[in-house]
Amino acid sequence: MDLNYSPEDEGFRERVRRWFAEHPPGALDTLEQKKAWQRKLYEAGFVGMGWPREYGGQDARPMEQAIVAEEMAAADVPGAINSLALGLIGPTLIVHGTDEQKRRYLQRMLTAEEIWCQLYSEPDSGSDLASLKTSAVREGDHWSINGQKVWASLGAYAAFGILLARTKPNVPKHQGISYFILDMRTQGVEVRPLKQITGSSEFAEVFFTNVKVPAENIIGQEGQGWELAQTTLGYERGGSVLARVTRHQANMRRLIEVARALRRDGQPALEDPLVRQKLGRMVVEVEVLRYTGFRILSKLEQGTRPGPESSVDKLYYSELDKRHQELVQDILGPFGQLEKGLPKELALNSSTMRGDDSTWAYNFLWSRAGTIYAGSSEIQKNIIGERVLKLPREPRADRATPSSTGG
């Protein structure tokens, strides 16, 4: 593992940093503004960087991608809106799609012309995703879809979704699933946004009643859906490890300033030995995250795809985020719950307040999600136990298969 950046990488970082300094995103309240920001990022070469050039990417090295992600975090600018398309759906199409599918969809993912969502989870199938019930029945030149999905991030804005549906009911559950491209504007698709604890509606429930999906919209072969879903999840687990570290570091620096400004029992909270101890511990934990990130990054640089051991990273960073946000609340007390009207010296980001998603309160509430999506903490522990540590599996016939999960 090499912990140094090469002179080329340092030069690249300098150029990226300058670009972000010269191109502030401005208001990003509406969907159109968010799409326009992604397009700008794309034109600068910062979107789909790892994708092959023939599909609009840059063939960039993992290190270059990490540098851009880090600089975005350092500049405190939001990433691309079409996150699922860029991180999971596009890469799956690149590997498994037909030439026709690649030509039709990939470029418009990069430019945010078409937003995508992931239609995996169902009300009774989350961790045990392979038990999903939404059905797809072949009728001539199309498939007829019936059923319900839930927790579809970006579902309310999406033009397309990737859909897992059961095409064969009478075979072992993992073998009867296929993978489709769904045009969300098709008749029979009903999208109902779900309001979250944070106040925003990033999720949607999606209902299908006799929805006709053209036969050519299947990705891979019939019955190959589970295998493809594993590829997709694999990309998601890779993650922008170092960007997370940069955001945590920035938050820690700010939290220390806030603890200095905040008065407790007549003195700055930072003078409290317990507060100092907890802050110190958190700084160390973020450093651990940084070195774990380097380990993953150097594996990627050597061309090795992270395997089940990336569950260690997922478990650690999502649990760390919860501990981090709990510490914030611990230090700020009632101030931590204010979404509006927080004195400037106590706000998360005094210079570039962008609305609710840059408050301590929002971050606290959002941190609860990290240990659920892309495989809950319990599922990550099962994976670590069984596939990393090779511990014996629990010999119970009725146990759920913790092999994968939705988004």
Ligand X SMILES: Cc1cc2nc3c(=O)[nH]c(=O)nc-3n(C[C@H](O)[C@H](O)[C@H](O)COP(=O)(O)OP(=O)(O)OC[C@H]3O[C@@H](n4cnc5c(N)ncnc54)[C@H](O)[C@@H]3O)c2cc1C
Binding footprint of ligand X on the chain (CB under 6 A):
117-121, 126-127, 151-153, 369, 372-373, 376, 378-379, 382, 400, 402, 405-407
As measured in angstroms, the least distance from the Cβ of 87 to ligand X is: 11
How far is the C-alpha of 377 from the C-alpha of 290, rounded, in Å? Answer: 20
Residue 396 structure tokens: 């119970």
Query: What residues contact 73, with CB distance under 8 A and at least 6 apart?
Result: 243, 244, 246, 247, 250
Q: Which of 139, 236, 257, 285 is catalytic?
A: 236
As measured in angstroms, the least distance from the Cβ of 12 to ligand X is: 32
As measured in angstroms, the least distance from the Cβ of 379 to ligand X is: 6
Instruction: State the burial class of residue 42 (Cβ atoms within 10 Å of its Cβ: 0-12, 13-18, 19+).
Output: buried
As measured in angstroms, the least distance from the Cβ of 258 to ligand X is: 26
How far is the C-alpha of 275 from the C-alpha of 283, rounded, in Å? Answer: 12
Residue 119 or 213 having the CB closest to ligand X: 119
Residue 184 or 279 having the CB closest to ligand X: 184
Residue 217 or 382 having the CB closest to ligand X: 382
Residue 367 structure tokens: 């941190």
Q: Which residue's C-beta sits nearest to ligand X?
A: 126
Please say if 8 is a catalytic residue. no
Residue 110 or 117 having the CB closest to ligand X: 117
As measured in angstroms, the least distance from the Cβ of 147 to ligand X is: 13
As measured in angstroms, the least distance from the Cβ of 20 to ligand X is: 26
Residue 120 or 360 having the CB closest to ligand X: 120
Residue 19 or 373 having the CB closest to ligand X: 373
As measured in angstroms, the least distance from the Cβ of 125 to ligand X is: 7
Instruction: State the burial class of residue 73 (Cβ atoms within 10 Å of its Cβ: 0-12, 13-18, 19+).
Output: buried
Show which residues are catalytic: 236
